[in-house]
Structure 1
Amino acid sequence: MNYISTRGNVGEVGFIDAVLMGLADDGGLLIPKQIPRLSEAELTSWSKLDYKGLALEIFSRYINEEIPQDELKELIEASYSTFRDSDITPVRKLNDNSYVLELFHGPTFAFKDVALQFLGNLYSYIARKRNSIINILGATSGDTGASAIEGVRGKEGIRISILHPHQRVSKVQELQMTTVDDANVLNLAVKGNFDDCQTLIKELFADVEFKNKYHLRAINSINFARILAQTVYYFFAYFQVTADAPGEKVNFSVPTGNFGDIFAGYLAKQMGLPVNKLILATNENNILERFIKEGVYQPGEFHITHSPSMDIQIASNFERYLFYLYNEDASQVADLMRQFKTEGKIVIDSEKLKQVQADFAAHGVKNDECLDAIRTTYESTGYLLDPHTACGIAASSPYTGSDELTVTLATAHPAKFDESIQLVNIKQEFPVQISQLFDKPQYQTVVEHSKADVVEHIVKLYQA
């Protein structure tokens, strides 16, 4: 399997080189040259596998023999042995047509662990095989940073710097990142929002000379390995739900800000998983909802919400979908992205909008609607949602028919967002791993929203 850029100006590269490149050198995103298509027989065979076995089958389709099968199996085992549930991502039934897919059983209680435990081990594997230093640089709206740090902390040959928006993540998210006192970890709190952090990261990766000089590697979902790892749980959940209800139509409702998690679902569907609807749940920062409903992709007024990990206006994985929407025409994608950079928006025609609306449904969840979903779900089922999952539940209601089942991706444990849970007067008991964080000292550096300021600090780490 080779990988190409959405903008067409990068030669074909293998899986490991694609992982190391992260953001394509032409500013685009790397995608597989072909999406593997599965037969009905393969799907039937896969439905009997456990999570790790399913991951091995899916990863193998995209990695080929670049990583020998026995070594890939060891990477998968090491990555998912850290999860607290034997199913890795268990499915829970809420009512007759509503399920949640719990993605928060990893070390940092967030769905990002599913991909970043694997990517951390993969980077460590590559560093050993190539005898090289890997300098990871990433931005986070809260969960990616903690998961990324947990995935690589203490690993030989790897250093990591994470940017997060200063005082705009939950307290638990902040503590999970900043209580790590390891020599290979740097936390930078940027005065600004997540989009400011993400823009800085993209600028640094787009500077190919700087990127190559300091061996910068991506941990954000611009790295295709992240998308690949997230694809697995769509297959796993579908097989779990249809085992109890064979032949039922299955939707997925996906809380999303960066378009990565729902793009993983789109990829699974393109591979042949018979997903009925992909429901995109946003909050009041609803640029993606407007695109799906109106065909206009344009940042609007920024809102601080009860679901802070989705307080994102510019979705870094959106370009991958554009590539397929425009029939894999990289020149058109490059033109669209140039237009977005100069004009601040992308507008698609009515025929393309029909295709978008065939691929996705969308709903932007208001703050009150989010809190109401937490309250009513708890009262009716006893199940406590975090605010991002609550957005997914709220978005699923108008799009779930009487003859359909919807699986909502539960992206984080509610303890990570107690500020929101307190607003509906629900008291929760923190897992011991989270409650212990409040007694630990913090290690972070507050910086201006300035490329020069960020570069000064990360270079010190990478030259150490």
Structure 2
Amino acid sequence: MKYISTRGQMEPIEFQDAVMTGLAPDGGLLLPQELPDVGNKLEAWSKLSYTELAFEVIRLFATDIPDADLKQLIDDSYATFEHPEVCPSVDVGDFQILELFHGPTLAFKDVALQFLGNLFAYILEKRGGKLNILGATSGDTGSAAIHGVRGKPNINIFIMHPEGRTSPLQEKQMTSVLDANVFNLAVDGSFDDCQNIMKTTFGDVPFKTEHSLGSVNSVNWARVLAQTVYYFYAAFRTLEKTGASTVQFSVPTGNFGDILAGYLAQQMGLPVSKLILATNENDILTRFFNTGEYSKAQAVPTISPSMDIQVASNFERYLYFKVGKDAAKLVDLMNDFKDKGVLKVALNETGVVDDLFAAGRGDTASTLETIKRYKEQYGYVLDPHTAVGVYVAEKFRSPESPTICLATAHPAKFTQAIIDAIGEAVHHPTLDALEHAETRCETIANDVDLVKQYLVEHI
């Protein structure tokens, strides 16, 4: 399996090179040349454990890693999860809630980043050299990435987060990791500012090459790939339980990486009737799928901070498929967005961008009300991001196609929002242990040159 750039200006490369490259040299995102059709494998796959399924899915894309090595990488990655199923589904009201928060940092990002951390270490051990990871986080990616590579030889990790705009526990999960290879930077700006610094730095190809920079953000193909697995696993469990022939997924969405994984699973042959895209007040993606216009607005801080994003870094991958894999057309659209802050695609004959997607928005009041209602009715506490997905999913229920709602984080990570919704906090021992933990973090201006200078001084 070879990988190409969405922008068409790169020779095809192997999987391990794609992992280490992150963002393509032409500024595009990496995708496999072709997606495999797995329709004839679904019945056999449906009987596998999570780790067995992960091996079967990922091996189709990681063809330059020997099977025995890949199996060991996967087994090691998911041994860190506290639930035997890794990503279990539970019945809550009309929905299946897919719990993706049983990893070390209690967020769905662990599913990909435990694997990616081990993958980086494996490739560096085989090839030699060092890797300096630069990442931007709106909350959960940073801590999951840090916990994926902390203490690993030949790897440094530099994570930028918007100062004061992550939850206190999310911040502490990052800044309390004191390993010598971990560097936390609080940027005076928004997550979009952090992401812009990261993309601009990676766009400086000589700098990126000289300092061996790599990415853990969902621009890294391996992250999206690892996330496709739980769509297959959850669909199999729900189809088995309900006897239905299709399922739909509701996904709280910020950077478009998580729902993109679902889109790719559907393209590979998983029987998904609908992908329900749920945003908070930062609704650039909802507006796009409902109107065909992708236009920037000011990012607004909310109680679901991991979704407080106005420029979705994975959107370009979807757009590449949307324009028929025409790299030149894709570049024109991305240039429109860069120059004018807006790009447009035509609506189809049913008046939407894509019949596979339904999109909706849940504001803060709706989110709090949903958390309260589900606690009262079902005794189940949703985190604020998951609650946005559940609230929007309620608008798109289908009698034929059961809805699986992705639970992207443990509610204990969002103390104030949960107290505001149900009047009391939810606890988890992993987070309670952080209360008096020592922290280390440096504040830095929203300035790409200052961040690059910091990297040079600390690599």
Give 2:59's aligned residue.
60
When structure 1 is superposed on structure 2, of 384-393 and 355-364 the one drifting more is: 355-364
Cα distance in 2 for residues equivalent to 1:141 and 1:449 = 15
Which whole-Å deviations, capped at 9, do the CAs of 1:236-256 have from their partners, x for residues lacking one? 000011111122431100001
CA contact (8 A) 1:294 1:353 kept: no
Cα distance in 2 for residues equivalent to 1:75 and 1:261 = 22
Give 2:10's aligned residue.
10
Shift of 1:404: 2.8
Which whole-Å deviations, capped at 9, do the CAs of 1:170-226 have from their partners, x for residues lacking one? 011000000111110100000001000000000000100000000000000000000
Q: TM-score, normalised by structure 1?
A: 0.97
Of residues 49, 64, 71, the one that matches 1:73 is 71
CA contact (8 A) 2:296 2:341 kept: yes
> What SS does the aligned partner of 1:192 have?
coil
**Residues 1:229 and 2:226 aligned together:** yes
Give 2:33's aligned residue.
33
Give 2:391's aligned residue.
394
Give 1:218's aligned residue.
215
Shift of 1:422: 1.1
Cα distance in 2 for residues equivalent to 1:69 and 1:391 = 39
**Residues 1:305 and 2:278 aligned together:** no
What residue identity is the alignment partner of 2:118?
A: N
Of residues 245, 248, 252, the one that matches 2:249 is 252
What residue identity is the alignment partner of 2:43?
A: T
> What SS does the aligned partner of 1:176 have?
helix
Of residues 85, 88, 91, the one that matches 1:90 is 88
**Residues 1:122 and 2:119 aligned together:** yes
Which whole-Å deviations, capped at 9, do the CAs of 1:378-421 have from their partners, x for residues lacking one? 11000000000000000101111233311100000001111110
What residue identity is the alignment partner of 1:437?
A: L
CA contact (8 A) 1:293 1:357 kept: no
After superposition, residues 4-403 of structure 1 pair within 5 angstroms as 4-40=4-40, 42-64=41-63, 66-95=64-93, 97-351=94-348, 354=351, 356-403=353-400
CA contact (8 A) 1:227 1:260 kept: yes
> What SS does the aligned partner of 1:62 have?
coil
CA contact (8 A) 1:292 1:353 kept: no
Cα distance in 2 for residues equivalent to 1:336 and 1:425 = 44
Q: Over aligned residue pairs, what C-alpha RMSD do you find?
A: 1.1
Shift of 1:355: 6.5
Give 1:420's aligned residue.
417
Of residues 392, 408, 411, the one that matches 1:411 is 408
Which whole-Å deviations, capped at 9, do the CAs of 1:111-165 have from their partners, x for residues lacking one? 0000000000000001100011011110000100000000000001111000000
Cα distance in 2 for residues equivalent to 1:140 and 1:220 = 8
> What SS does the aligned partner of 1:424 have?
helix
Gaps of 5+ in 1: none
CA contact (8 A) 2:245 2:271 kept: no
Shift of 1:352: 8.7
When structure 1 is superposed on structure 2, of 243-252 and 308-317 the one drifting more is: 243-252
Cα distance in 2 for residues equivalent to 1:155 and 1:353 = 51
Aligned length: 459
Cα distance in 1 for residues equivalent to 2:333 and 2:359 = 22
The list of structure 1 runs, each at least 4 consecutive aligned residues, that deviate by more than 6 angstroms after superposition, is none
Cα distance in 2 for residues equivalent to 1:445 and 1:92 = 40
Q: 1:31 to 1:142 in 2, by over 3 A?
A: same
Cα distance in 2 for residues equivalent to 1:59 and 1:413 = 26
Gaps of 5+ in 2: none
CA contact (8 A) 1:295 1:353 kept: no
CA contact (8 A) 2:192 2:310 kept: yes
Shift of 1:302: 2.3
Cα distance in 2 for residues equivalent to 1:137 and 1:303 = 24
> What SS does the aligned partner of 2:332 have?
helix
Shift of 1:19: 0.8
> What SS does the aligned partner of 1:336 have?
helix
Shift of 1:356: 2.7
Provide the identity percentage: 49
CA contact (8 A) 1:22 1:223 kept: yes
> What SS does the aligned partner of 1:122 have?
helix
**Residues 1:453 and 2:443 aligned together:** no
Shift of 1:351: 3.3
When structure 1 is superposed on structure 2, of 264-273 and 435-444 the one drifting more is: 435-444
Shift of 1:272: 0.1
What residue identity is the alignment partner of 1:287?
A: I
When structure 1 is superposed on structure 2, of 429-438 and 236-245 the one drifting more is: 429-438
